[in-house]
């Protein structure tokens, strides 16, 4: 793996506080790889062999059942995924595929399990990371159960617009069909919801979204700290969402 990747990985909340010797051990067994867009990195149901760290590009986590599939999250740099499966030594609950050309570090799950047992600081970091992932998934489930599809879209747009320059106009960084799946609706329904929101302070032009009347949009769906907030130090935070609220 490229040595220039190491400092950035070392700086991750998950690896920041562990002993250097243990970090070195962990990285010795690890290797980096470049993948083209659209490649399926892991399939749900497979045994968890590697913790994945996204260094460049982005990865979709998704699930399938019968003929249905749905997006569960998108992981951007620098983020990790399927930590929980690695720790439990259990099958992946989600599949993963690259959305673009991506550079991924693969850390053997067995090394991971061995090292957090002997490095208490690392164990504490893993605890923090898992707690964040858990809370993110609780929010995701709450969002699905407590809001209808139009409200979910409104909240998504407001959350996306935060933490960006200008705070008014921004570009969607993933396909609309993926957003639809992430928000639990069909692409057709998303399209109609976009249109419906044009009467409530939002303008859509291709990939560009402009919130020209935030108050009107908030009237449709006020953001909520317990639904739309994000914990600090989370590395896997839904569809590329900035922190805050």
Q: Please list, in sequence order, all residues whose beta carbon lies within 8 angstroms of the beta carbon of residue 58, skipping any fewer than 6 positions away.
A: 74, 75, 76, 77, 98, 99, 100, 102, 174, 240
Q: Is residue 195 involved in binding DNA (CB under 7 A)?
A: yes
Unique residue bearing structure tokens 């692409």: 187
219 binds, among DNA, its own copies, none (CB under 5 to 8 A by kind): none
Q: Is 110 among the residues that bind DNA (CB under 7 A)?
A: no
Rounded CA separation 200/217 (Å): 5
Q: Out of its own copies, DNA, none, which partner does residue 195 contact, by CB within 5 to 8 A per kind?
A: DNA
Judged by DSSP in three states, 208 sits in strand
Asked if residue 185 binds DNA (CB under 7 A), the reply is yes
For tokens 């979709």, the residue is 60
47 binds, among its own copies, DNA, none (CB under 5 to 8 A by kind): none
Measured CA to CA, the distance from residue 176 to residue 211 in angstroms comes to 17
Q: Pick one of DNA, its own copies, none as the site partner of residue 72 (Cβ within 5 to 8 A by kind).
A: its own copies
17/191 with CB nearer DNA: 191
Smallest distance, DNA to C-beta of residue 189, A: 3
- Give the full edge-to-edge strand order of the sheet including 102-108: 31-35, 102-108, 50-56, 79-81
Which residues sit at the interface with its own copies, rule CB under 8 A?
Answer: 44-45, 63-66, 68-70, 72, 83-85, 87-88, 90-91, 93-94, 116-118, 120, 123-124, 126-128, 130-135, 137-142, 144-147, 184, 222, 224-227, 231
Tell me: does residue 175 bind DNA (CB under 7 A). Answer: yes
3-state SS record for 25-78? HHHHCCEEEEECCCCEEECCCCECCEEEEEEECCEEEEEEECCEEEEEEEECCC
Site for DNA (CB under 7 A): which residue of 56, 191, 210, 224? 191
* Shortest CB 123 distance to its own copies, Å: 4
Q: Which is nearer to its own copies, 1 or 114 (CB)?
A: 114
Do β-strands 59-65 and 169-171 pair in parallel, antiparallel, or remain unpaired? unpaired
| Shorter beta-carbon distance to its own copies: residue 36 or 91 | 91
Distance of closest approach, residue 242 Cβ to DNA, in angstroms: 21
Q: What is the binding site for DNA (CB under 7 A)?
A: 148-150, 175-177, 184-195, 204
């Amino acid at each position: 793996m490229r040595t220039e990747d190491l400092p950035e990985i070392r700086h991750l909340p998950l690896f920041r506080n562990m002993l250097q010797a243990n970090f070195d051990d962990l990285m010795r067994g690890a290797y980096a790889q470049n993948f083209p867009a659209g490649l399926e990195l892991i399939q749900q149901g497979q045994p968890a062999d590697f913790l994945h760290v996204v260094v460049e590009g982005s990865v979709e986590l998704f699930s399938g059942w019968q003929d249905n599939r749905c997006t569960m999250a998108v992981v951007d740099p620098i983020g990790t995924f399927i930590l929980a499966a690695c720790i439990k030594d259990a099958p992946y609950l989600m599949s993963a595929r690259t959305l673009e050309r991506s550079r991924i570090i693969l850390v053997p799950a067995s090394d991971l399990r061995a090292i957090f047992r002997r490095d208490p600081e690392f164990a504490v970091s893993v605890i923090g990371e898992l707690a964040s992932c858990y809370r993110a998934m609780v929010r995701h489930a709450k969002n699905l159960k407590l809001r209808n599809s139009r409200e979910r879209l409104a909240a998504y747009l407001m959350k996306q617009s935060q933490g960006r320059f200008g705070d008014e106009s921004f570009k969607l960084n993933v396909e609309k069909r993926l957003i639809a799946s992430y928000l639990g609706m069909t692409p057709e329904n998303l399209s109609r919801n976009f249109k419906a929101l044009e009467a409530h302070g939002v303008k859509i032009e291709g990939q560009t979204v402009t919130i020209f009347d935030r108050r009107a949009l908030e009237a449709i769906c006020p953001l909520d700290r317990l639904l739309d907030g994000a914990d600090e130090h989370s590395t896997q935070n839904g569809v590329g969402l900035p922190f805050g609220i």
